[in-house]
Amino acid sequence: MTSAIFFTAQFQQVALGHGALQAGLRLLPWGIAPFLIAPRAGALTDRIGERALVIAGTLLLGVGMGWIALISEPGIGYATTAVAMTVGGLGFSLALPAVTKSVVSRVAPQDIGRASGTFSTLRQLGGAFGVALTGAVFATAGGYATARVFSDGYVPAMSISAALAFTATAAGIALPRHRRIAPATITGHAAPVESKAG
């Protein structure tokens, strides 16, 4: 997502000729979806488990990035791009709270701070890695000379963004299924049981 935002803001300016403010406003579909959905995604994670939301979210994110890669060219209309960004933003909004919970819910209470800090650090490093990787691909295939040359680099860069999201989907499949606590028995003891969710 970080690499997609990094290059799409430039695509709006270099390939489509928009100013910086207009380019930023055109990225709003990526920002609005997390604002509206992420708080509800946390509650949904409690109900159906992290695995299902990580898989669905990263899959939608990959579809959104891949869609943008397929349709992008100089002079493209905004409506289709906005729909693709909305799909990607929806996926990101579903996946991130679920990934966060999958990290902090699997450690002892006294280790939650360390786990959360480690996760945040690795997430930032992952964003930097994504920008570096897509930047290398962009530099090989395109440049800033003209709108067409930029587009020639932007499309494979977005394809790499999509591939990274689909790699996250594969990692999500490896997560354990959702666990819930069984209702208390007559003796008052509850045992964790494997649910079918996820």
**What's the pLDDT tens digit per position in 46-73?**
788 889 999 999 999 999 999 999 999 9
Instruction: Name the residue with tokens 């490896």.
Output: 174
Residue 32's pLDDT is 85
Domain residue ranges of the chain, discontinuous segments joined by +: 2-194
pTM over 0.85: no
pLDDT tens profile 115-149: 889 989 998 999 999 999 999 999 999 999 999 99
| pLDDT level of residue 99 (50, 70, 90 thresholds) | confident
Residue 179's pLDDT is 53
- pLDDT of 180 strictly over 90: no
Cα–Cα distance for residue pair 121/113, rounded to 1 Å: 12
| pLDDT level of residue 197 (50, 70, 90 thresholds) | very low
Per the rule left: phi > 0, alpha: psi between -120 and 50, beta: everything else, 74 is beta
Considering the chain, what percentage of its residues have pLDDT values greater than 70?
89
Q: Report which DSSP code applies to 105.
A: T
Cα–Cα distance for residue pair 149/11, rounded to 1 Å: 11
CATH code of the domain occupying 2-194: 1.20.1250.20
The vertex-26 CA angle with 20 and 32, nearest 5°, equals: 125
Residue 191's pLDDT is 44
Residue length of the chain: 198
